[in-house]
Amino acid sequence: MHPFRPFFLLLILFVFLSMKSDKQAYKVYNTKGHKADYDDILDAAKKSDIIFFGELHNNPICHWLQLELTKDLYAEKGDKLVLGAEMLEADNQLLVNEYLSKLIRKKDFESEAKLWPNYKTDYAPLVDFAREKGIKFIATNIPRRFAALVNQKGFEGLDSINAFERGLIASLPIKYLDTLECYKSIVKNAGEGMPVHLSQNLGKAQAIKDATMAQNIMKNGVFNEKTFLHFNGSYHSDNYQGTVWYVKQAIRKTSFDLKILTITCLEQGNIDTLSQNDAKKADFLIVIPSSMTKTQ
């Protein structure tokens, strides 16, 4: 035996055991439940027209990977990449544009815009990247007051808003299927004792958000030959429902042959396995330990 061979065998064994004992921050699976990796997500994203990155709002791994995917897609697409997010509302688009164009200061934007509590840690890096590179960032969500109006009065409540305000929401009437699991489950899980008409409106309030986000994605992406990367809570894109469903309805009305990619995030105690039921939620699944620290 070569005198150095035992040494190399021990070295390989040491490296293997070291890798095996590492605590991994996440694992990636595809929709068949097979193991994948970040490069698989990136390769698929490069070939897609609309990418939905479904996040867990307070999970730092989700937000880090969102930023990494944004940087890598930009390296491929340049100014053909458009970003958009549920976390910014359509009536703040003017402020977003002013900030992106460097017309206003960061502190002025952050003090005047309606921002989530974890904006500075989780979403500012995405908006600031768009500002640095000169690409669009679309505030896709409905102003929350209109979603609240639907929650109180149903879609009929929107009849009272003026023409300018209607420009901030999806074109009415919207198609609404209360049989979609994403809406059926939210109605079913409504708190006990809630009046029936209010519990039924919960699904409609979510639907008007989804329809508005879908319309803003279509308007600012595909018609301008752009690749649209959208950040949203996983609820809005899991199982190809929610916003994804409305985007698909819009695509059917066009002559475009568009490729949609969905990514979702899950937290589990054991990230080494994935149930077949969960695997069906998206094209790629990022599974993160449930012990991961939170951002808010």
Omega prior to 173 cis, within 30 of 0: yes
What are the tens digits of pLDDT across the range 47-76?
999 999 999 999 999 999 999 999 999 999
| Amino acid found at 210 | D
What are the tens digits of pLDDT across the range 104-150?
999 999 999 999 999 999 999 999 999 999 999 999 999 999 999 99
C-alpha–C-alpha distance, residues 92 and 155, integer Å: 23
| pLDDT above 90 coverage of the chain, percent | 82
This prediction has a pTM of 0.91
Average pLDDT over residues 151-168: 94
Q: For the chain, which domains are there?
A: 25-289 (3.40.50.11550)
Pairing of strands 50-55, 227-233: parallel
What are the tens digits of pLDDT across the range 220-238?
987 778 999 999 999 999 9
Residue by residue, DSSP assigns 1-60 as --TTHHHHHHHHHHHHHHHHHPPPS-EEEETTS-EE-HHHHHHHHHT-SEEEEEE-TT-H
| Amino acid found at 108 | D
Neighbouring-strand partners of residue 288: 267
- Residue 164 near residue 112, CB atoms below 8 Å: no
Phi then psi dihedrals of residue 231, to 5 deg: -105, 125
